[in-house]
């Protein structure tokens, strides 16, 4: 008697909680990365800043945006319009503006710092550089730069691979650091960047299929370089239609992709994503998803996980709105005045200073500092994984040099 | 006989070379390479200390049962079994021991006593014996569902109070408020009662120009302004307002007292049907609370808000704070005893403590499990001594908690244990040293290492092979000479060996 009721209760509980978990998020975060430096990559900075403006306009506070700019195009000496970054040839809108907070700048934009955002930053890193997400956070991640099949180049000297990003996302998943992720990447062969993901709750889109370049959109002849990439330009143009209370869905965004205009075939990956993306524009080749003919390269782009999309439509889950990732607050709760009046201590004697609170984190089990300091060299090696092989090479080389010099001096 | 060409080709005949020295040189390269190999191996391998995997899985299987002794007055003795069952159904982590007693009013723990109406007082529940749903009332009192608006557990919280003047230039400006007294009166009772759960830091500020990012709806010819439910979700103008300092990484609860511009007053909250709501406060889940304070338009241009003015706003804030902290509400049928002077009964505080203990234990189980699965899944992930000791520390804390929970731990001690287990496990999980090695495809590795090593190894290998070949040739020749000598010595008397040499 007791057992069935308990199991029924548990079943109900799990059903309810799973429904809650799939659509509940209370905060939005954005990570916007421009990974290439140098003046001729002006457009990549403009891409990231354009996204920055959009997410900020749609309600994500600066404290929840991690903006990584590998170079400072605004203050480049070749910039005729100092302190400004424009994304259109007419220079109508200064993306740099007056209220911008770059969290990682210049040489701070490294693969290591990007991957450490999952939560592996050392305790000395300030709050503004941290991605302090929890299990009810939706994260929008935007990458732009020069890339290739399954990699994106950082700073012209290192690269992050699709595997690394997939592993990083999985660490965030295991650590309960996100509810859903929307991953967008604008680079050559961009769709390969999301091909290795394996953690649930990730929706991904990219600018071009494997073996295809992504192109810049327009030049400004006064600035002298291309000012924005084509894919990002059309995404941003679409996002101008979206406001904070918009009901447009993700499928609306994806069905706005226009291959001839963009010049490459954008892709979508939704097989890891639980919620349906919405109906979208019925006249677009992609709107056929889940019902028959897929969205193929010939038709206008690439869609991974299209088969799963059909099954999502019958579910009770809410459609995915653009504002789920670009917005601010999801829902609020207005107080009811008929709540019982809260009675707290009234007599002043009771308003004493609070009791010394129990702090559970005072005595930790970390290893004693003496052992730490003695192995400081090894710690540095751990912190910079590339140091180890290079150290080995240096030592090996030093031994060779020693032997050589020993031999020659012995001979003379 | 040797001609000149073959003399130069044979290294042993070069005037500046000696076989032994040359061989030492070549051998020294090989000795160095063999000596350097272990060094290369140790410096390039990742330190992956073993984690107590099986222990973690065994620990994760365990369920914490928090003992809960309730003295039930003999008037309710017939309800005891149904009472126990309903609490267990509501919260499987509670180990309820309800026992009948005659003098439950003297019992130090929880007691259920007959009374005329449903009342809570300290840890006593007065209940009319005639009423029948005691079991469900008790279940909702001891194990209510956790509010989704509550924030996740953190040992520290920061409370940030902000007075926002929407537009001081429009006329009236509030320059100061009795924030200290208001906090002392409305917030300190909560933080001290729940000080056992968290450590609180409080900060406050006043801002003078905080424009909304949208235009509120104008009602009844511009004399009243309204905020629709959609407006409320975008009320916080996060692009322009700085609501908390970023001095620490602790989670922040924001409390905003918004003074609408003198031009746009009164500003009311509208219900979804467009009628004005009676409330002027709203809560953003896990974020904080907002109160809109519409002041009557008096002549002075600057103003100080004193305690009575803040009374209603701060009572909303204290309600918000309780919600954000996950403080359970009393079921509507229950009222507080008139003799107690606070709305924070021991029933509720203890319930919150037990919920947080349960949450923390589950959470640290999950984190520990995630750590070991992740380490086994991702090969390039280092595990150093610190991670190992943090995982072990978390495990041993959990062991202690489980061992002593049923014996003699108070809820506060159990919470301290569970919080420490949680802190250690998440420290281990997010340890900065566990940054995995970057992935490089095998062909990249070959492409990088082949030009580097092939050019160095080919001459070395060639020299070694040639030297070995020369050495073998020499030995063969020496043996041949020896054979000849043996053969000739066998014939002793016939040939004079000295003449051959």
Q: B187-219, pLDDT tens digit by residue?
A: 998 998 888 889 999 999 999 988 888 888 888
* Contact residues for B45 (Cβ-Cβ < 8 A; gap 6+): none
CA distances from A199 to A163, A175, A180, A194 (A): 12, 12, 10, 11
**Among candidate residues B226, B239, B240, B294, the one with its CA nearest the CA of residue B262:** B294
Q: Do B392 and A366 touch (CB under 8 A)?
A: no
Residues 149-168 of A with CB under 8 A from B: 150, 160-161, 163-164, 167
Tokens of A303: 């869609």
Q: What is the pLDDT along chain B (501 residues), one digit of tens a residue?
A: 445 555 556 655 666 677 788 889 889 999 999 999 999 888 888 888 889 999 999 988 888 888 888 888 877 777 778 878 888 887 788 888 877 777 777 777 788 888 877 777 777 788 877 767 777 788 878 888 777 788 888 889 999 999 999 888 887 888 889 999 999 999 998 998 888 889 999 999 999 988 888 888 888 777 888 888 888 888 888 777 888 777 788 889 999 999 988 888 788 888 888 888 888 899 988 889 999 988 776 656 668 888 888 888 999 999 999 999 988 888 777 777 666 666 778 888 888 998 899 999 999 999 999 999 989 988 888 898 999 999 999 999 999 998 888 777 788 888 999 999 999 999 999 998 888 777 888 888 888 888 888 888 888 899 899 989 988 998 999 898 888 777 766 554 544 444 444
Task: Tell me the catalytic residues of A.
Answer: 146, 188
Mutation target among B188, B239, B345, B356 for the A interface, most CBs of A within 10 A: B239
Q: What is the mean pLDDT of chain A?
A: 76
**Among candidate residues A280, A277, A237, A236, the one with its CA nearest the CA of residue A255:** A280
Tokens of B189: 């009772």
Q: How far is B494 from chain A (nearest CA, A)?
A: 49
Side-chain-side CA neighbours of A390 within 13 Å: the count stands at 6
Instruction: Report yes or no: A133 and A178 within 8 Å, Cβ to Cβ.
Output: yes
Please give the Cα distance from A238 to A257 (Å, whole number): 9
Measure CB to CB from residue B285 to each of A132, A171, A333 and give the nearest one: A333
Measure CB to CB from residue A5 to each of B89, B195, B278 and give the nearest one: B89
Q: Do A111 and B198 touch (CB under 8 A)?
A: no
CATH of A25-326, one of 3.40.50.2020, 3.40.50.1460, 3.40.190.80, 3.30.70.20: 3.40.50.1460
Q: Is the confidence metric ipTM above 0.85 for this complex?
A: no
Mutation target among A342, A386, A401 for the B interface, most CBs of B within 10 A: A342
**Among candidate residues B164, B161, B157, B160, the one with its CA nearest the CA of residue B240:** B164
Which pLDDT band holds residue A286 (cuts at 50, 70, 90)? low
Contact residues on chain A for B438, CB-CB shorter than 8 A? 111, 160-161, 164, 385
Please give the Cα distance from A10 to A18 (Å, whole number): 12
A131 touches chain B (CB under 8 A): no
Residues 327-386 of A with CB under 8 A from B: 328-337, 339-347, 350-361, 363-367, 371, 378-379, 381-383, 385
Q: How far is A385 from chain B (nearest CA, A)?
A: 6
List the end-to-end C-alpha distance of chain B, in Å, as a whole number. 15
Instruction: Report yes or no: A61 and A329 within 8 Å, Cβ to Cβ.
Output: no
Prediction pTM value: 0.79
Mutation target among A11, A197, A339, A365 for the B interface, most CBs of B within 10 A: A365
φ and ψ at A105, to 5 degrees? -130, 145
Q: Which chain B residue shows the shortest CA-CA distance from A175?
A: B367
- Number of neighbouring beta carbons within 10 Å of residue A298: 9
| DSSP assigned state of B65 | -
Residues facing residue A183 across a β-bridge: A141, A204
- Number of neighbouring beta carbons within 10 Å of residue B286: 20
In three state form, how does the secondary structure of B17-30 look?
Answer: CCHHHHHHHHHHHH
The fold adopted by the segment(s) B156-324 is Collagenase (Catalytic Domain) (3.40.390)
Range(s) of chain B covered by CATH 3.40.190: 66-142
Place of tokens 């079994």: B81
Q: How far is B4 from chain A (nearest CA, A)?
A: 26
CATH number of B66-142: 3.40.190
Q: In the sheet that B252-259 helps form, which strands lie side by side, from edge to edge? A: A333-334, B281-284, B288-292, B252-259, B156-165, B199-207
Place of tokens 């589950």: B362
Quick one: A359 exposed, middle or buried, by C-beta within 10 A (0-12, 13-18, 19+)? middle
Range(s) of chain B covered by CATH 3.40.390: 156-324
Tokens of B475: 């030995």
- Give the pLDDT of residue A203: 93
* Contact residues for A310 (Cβ-Cβ < 8 A; gap 6+): A289, A290, A291
| DSSP assigned state of B184 | I
């Amino acid at each position: 008697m007791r057992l069935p009721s308990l199991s029924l209760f548990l079943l109900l509980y799990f059903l309810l909680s799973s429904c809650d978990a799939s659509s509940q998020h209370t905060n939005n975060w954005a990570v916007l990365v421009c990974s290439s430096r140098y003046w001729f990559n002006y457009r990549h900075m403009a891409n990231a800043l354009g996204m920055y403006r959009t997410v900020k306009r749609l309600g994500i506070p600066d404290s929840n945006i991690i903006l990584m700019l590998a170079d400072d195009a605004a203050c480049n000496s070749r910039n005729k319009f100092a302190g400004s970054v424009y994304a259109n040839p007419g220079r109508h809108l200064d993306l740099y503006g007056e209220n911008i907070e770059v969290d990682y700048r210049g040489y701070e934009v490294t693969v290591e710092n990007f991957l450490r955002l999952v939560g592996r930053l050392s305790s000395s890193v300030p709050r503004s550089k941290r991605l302090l997400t929890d299990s009810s956070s939706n994260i929008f991640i935007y990458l732009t730069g020069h890339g290739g099949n399954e990699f994106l180049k950082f700073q012209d000297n290192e690269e992050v691979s699709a595997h690394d990003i997939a592993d990083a996302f999985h660490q965030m998943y295991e650590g309960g650091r996100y509810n859903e992720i929307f991953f967008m990447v604008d680079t050559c062969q961009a769709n390969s960047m999301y091909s290795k993901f394996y953690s649930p709750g990730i929706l991904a889109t990219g600018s071009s299929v494997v073996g295809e370049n992504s192109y810049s959109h327009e030049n400004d002849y006064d600035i002298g370089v291309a000012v924005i990439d084509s894919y990002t330009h059309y995404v941003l143009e679409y996002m101008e239609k979206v406001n904070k209370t918009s009901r447009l869905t993700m499928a609306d965004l994806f069905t706005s992709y226009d291959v001839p205009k963009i010049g490459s075939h954008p892709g979508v990956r939704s097989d890891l994503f639980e919620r349906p993306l919405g109906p979208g524009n019925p006249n677009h080749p992609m709107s056929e998803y889940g019902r028959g003919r897929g969205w193929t390269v010939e038709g206008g782009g690439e869609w991974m996980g299209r088969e799963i999309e059909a099954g999502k439509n019958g579910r009770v889950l809410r459609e995915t709105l653009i504002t789920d990732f670009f917005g601010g607050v999801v829902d609020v709760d207005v107080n009811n005045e008929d709540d019982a009046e809260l009675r707290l201590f009234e007599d002043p004697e009771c308003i004493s200073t609070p009791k010394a609170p129990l702090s559970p984190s005072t005595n930790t089990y970390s290893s004693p500092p003496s052992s730490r300091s003695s192995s400081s060299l090894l710690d540095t090696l751990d912190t910079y994984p590339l140091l180890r092989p290079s150290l080995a090479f240096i030592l090996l080389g030093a031994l060779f040099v020693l032997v050589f010099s020993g031999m020659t001096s012995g001979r003379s | 006989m040797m001609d000149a060409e073959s003399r130069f080709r044979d290294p042993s005949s070069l005037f500046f070379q000696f076989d032994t020295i040359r061989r030492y040189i070549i051998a020294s390269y090989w000795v160095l390479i063999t000596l350097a190999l272990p060094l290369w191996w140790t410096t390039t391998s990742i330190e992956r200390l073993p984690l107590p995997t099986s222990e973690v899985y065994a620990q994760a299987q365990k369920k914490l049962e928090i003992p809960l002794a309730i003295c039930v007055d003999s008037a309710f003795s017939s309800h005891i079994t149904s009472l126990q069952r309903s609490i267990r159904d509501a919260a499987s982590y509670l180990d309820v021991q309800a026992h009948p007693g005659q003098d439950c009013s003297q019992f130090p723990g929880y007691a259920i006593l007959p009374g005329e109406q449903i009342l809570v007082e300290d840890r006593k529940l007065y209940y009319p014996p005639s009423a029948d749903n005691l079991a469900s009332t008790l279940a909702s009192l001891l194990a209510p569902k956790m509010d989704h608006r509550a924030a996740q557990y953190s040992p520290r919280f920061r409370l940030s109070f902000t007075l926002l003047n929407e537009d001081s230039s429009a006329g009236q400006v509030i320059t100061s408020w009795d924030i200290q007294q208001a906090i002392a009166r409305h917030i300190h009772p909560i933080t001290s009662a729940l000080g056992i759960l968290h450590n609180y830091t409080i900060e406050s500020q006043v801002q003078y120009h905080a424009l909304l990012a949208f235009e509120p709806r104008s009602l009844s010819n511009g004399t009243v302004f309204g905020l629709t439910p959609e407006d409320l979700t975008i009320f916080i103008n996060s692009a322009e307002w700085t609501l908390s300092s970023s001095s620490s990484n602790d989670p922040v609860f924001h409390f905003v007292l918004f003074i609408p511009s003198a031009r746009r007053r009164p500003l009311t909250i509208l219900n979804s049907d467009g009628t004005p709501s009676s409330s002027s406060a709203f809560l953003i889940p896990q974020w904080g609370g907002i109160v809109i304070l519409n002041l009557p338009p008096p002549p002075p241009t600057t103003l100080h808000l004193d305690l009575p003015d803040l009374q209603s706003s701060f009572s909303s804030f204290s309600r918000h704070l309780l919600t954000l902290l996950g403080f359970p509400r009393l079921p509507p049928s229950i009222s507080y005893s008139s003799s107690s002077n606070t709305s924070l009964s021991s029933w509720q505080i203890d319930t919150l403590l037990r919920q947080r203990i349960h949450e923390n234990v589950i959470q640290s189980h999950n984190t520990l499990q995630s750590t070991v699965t992740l380490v086994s899944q991702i090969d390039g992930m280092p595990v150093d001594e610190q991670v190992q000791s943090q995982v072990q520390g978390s495990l041993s804390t959990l062991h202690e908690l489980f061992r002593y929970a049923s014996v003699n731990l108070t809820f506060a001690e159990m919470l301290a244990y569970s919080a420490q287990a949680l802190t250690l496990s998440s420290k281990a999980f997010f340890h900065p040293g566990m940054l995995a090695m970057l992935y490089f495809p095998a062909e990249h590795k070959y492409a990088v290492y082949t030009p580097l090593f092939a050019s160095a190894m080919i001459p070395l290998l060639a020299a070694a092979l040639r030297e070995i070949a020369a050495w073998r040739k020499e030995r063969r020749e020496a043996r041949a000479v020896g054979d000849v000598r043996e053969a000739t010595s066998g014939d002793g008397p016939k040939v004079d060996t000295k003449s051959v040499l």
